[in-house]
Amino acid sequence: MSWRRTKAIARKEIIHIYRDPRSLAMALAMPVVMLLLFGYALTLDVDRIPTMIYDRDNSPESREVVELFRASRYFEVHGEPDSYADIERRINESRTLLGVVIPADFSEELNRGREGQIQLLLDGSDSNTASIALGYADALLQAHSLNLRTRWLNRQGGNDFRPPVEAHVRVWYNPELESKNYIVPGLIGVILMIISALLTSLTIAREWEMGTMEQLLSTPLRPAELVIGKMSAFFLVGFVDTLLAIGVGIFIFDVPFRGNAIFLMGTISIFLFGVLCWGILISAATRSQLQAYQIGMITSFLPAFLLSGFVYDIENMPAIIQLITHIVPARYLVTLLKGIFLKGIGLEILFLEFVLLVVYAAVVFFIATRILQRKVA
């Protein structure tokens, strides 16, 4: 392998990138735009749930429940209807997600020491949001129920009654439970997967369509030299994209960074090498830029977005889909990025994911050189 020939190919690709400033600007701006768009638009936080409370009792006890919902940041009370029909109409119009109905005998049942019933009506068309809203409402009412029972026992016994168990919750790594801290690191990995695969998926196909591939084949250039030379030029672009994406995540979205910067850069470099080689493999296998672009998009965007654990938990997927996720490199990068950013852990814990990422890069590089060798032959 000659580094001189590799350097010549890299220089040729750099000149080609430099002569196309619009494509270069798009390649550098696209990750930032995607990160800003998805970072602000894609959120798993469920708060300010549109709520209507139908208070049929209108007593101090029922108004206390109403004030609990008004004081919670998870609920936004839009009004107090006069009938079930008002709640149904607002739910059908998608203007209300939760309807709370307090029956007319609510305070009477409480004063007798019985359980007061409260009805919750939810719009289940969005099952995920509805289940989260139900959990919030149930937790709020359970806490209020415990408080009411404590006050009732204190009145009956004359002693200060305290619950036998008091839970103190401590959330590690993301104490504010903000979804952006969970989404943005994974989003960086997904964006790099898409951009990197598309950067190199057109290189070899473009050479064939322009008729310059025959000139390259007439030189003593070897397949490995061609792959590394073409990949290295786009590696610089991908690395700049990485720095921009990390900067946006830390300085704009305020995502905490607790890990080792050197380990982060090394991990991303290996990932970029593998994904860029994947783009070259696609470009070498198809001599059409259109086909290369379509295959590159299908094999990068959909697996990275759906099967990397970026948004959807892999453990909740069917067993066959979980097996398929093992061949998606973004899965390992997302795990590494979340561990480095949020937990500050290193190679001692993320060793398996790091090794699998190295194996992926080596295998894709080998296959890409073999395909090019067959093309040359």
Considering 110, 126, 157, which residue would you say is the last residue of a domain? 157
Query: Are residue 336 and residue 205 in the same domain, yes or no?
Result: yes
Segment among 50-54, 299-303, 346-350 with least mean pLDDT:
299-303
Range with top average pLDDT, 47-56, 113-122, 138-147, 149-158:
47-56
Query: Are residue 362 and residue 279 in the same domain, yes or no?
Result: yes
Segment among 5-9, 217-221, 263-267, 355-359 with least mean pLDDT:
217-221
Distance linking the first and last C-alpha atoms of the chain: 18
Cα dihedral 111, 117, 121, 126 in deg (nearest 10) = 110
Is the model's pLDDT at 337 over the cut of 80?
Answer: yes
Domain-embedded: residue 167: no
Query: Are residue 215 and residue 344 in the same domain, yes or no?
Result: yes
- d(Cα 372, Cα 154) in Å, to the nearest integer? 82
Domain-embedded: residue 202: yes
Considering 157, 188, 209, which residue would you say is the last residue of a domain? 157
Question: How confident is residue 162, by pLDDT bands cut at 50, 70 and 90?
Answer: low
And the tokens for 49? 């749930």
Domain-embedded: residue 25: yes
Domain-embedded: residue 116: yes
Query: Are residue 204 and residue 346 in the same domain, yes or no?
Result: yes
The residues, any chain, with a CB within 8 Å of residue 177's CB and separated by 6 or more, are 171
Question: How confident is residue 339, by pLDDT bands cut at 50, 70 and 90?
Answer: very high
Query: Are residue 256 and residue 341 in the same domain, yes or no?
Result: yes
Query: Are residue 306 and residue 247 in the same domain, yes or no?
Result: yes
Taking phi over 0 as left and psi of -120 to 50 as alpha, with beta for the rest, 166 belongs to: beta
Alpha carbon distances (Å) from 134 to 67, 129, 216: 18, 9, 64
Is the model's pLDDT at 363 over the cut of 60?
Answer: yes
Confidence (pLDDT) at 356: 94
Are 207 and 214 in contact by the 8 Å Cβ rule? The answer is no
Segment among 96-110, 164-178, 223-237, 240-254 with least mean pLDDT:
164-178
Question: How confident is residue 214, by pLDDT bands cut at 50, 70 and 90?
Answer: low
Query: Are residue 202 and residue 267 in the same domain, yes or no?
Result: yes
Query: Are residue 222 and residue 339 in the same domain, yes or no?
Result: yes
Domain, as residue range, for 344: 20-43+178-376
Q: Could you give the angle at the alpha carbon of 7 between the alpha carbons of 360 and 371, nearest 5°?
A: 40
- d(Cα 129, Cα 280) in Å, to the nearest integer? 41
Q: How many domains does the chain have?
A: 2
Query: Are residue 121 and residue 182 in the same domain, yes or no?
Result: no
Query: Are residue 248 and residue 367 in the same domain, yes or no?
Result: yes
Domain harbouring 139, CATH code: 3.40.1710.10
Query: Are residue 300 and residue 249 in the same domain, yes or no?
Result: yes
Domain-embedded: residue 99: yes
- d(Cα 63, Cα 80) in Å, to the nearest integer? 11
Range with top average pLDDT, 42-46, 103-107, 348-352:
348-352
Considering 101, 124, 157, which residue would you say is the last residue of a domain? 157
Mean pLDDT of 222-231: 83
Query: Are residue 189 and residue 210 in the same domain, yes or no?
Result: yes
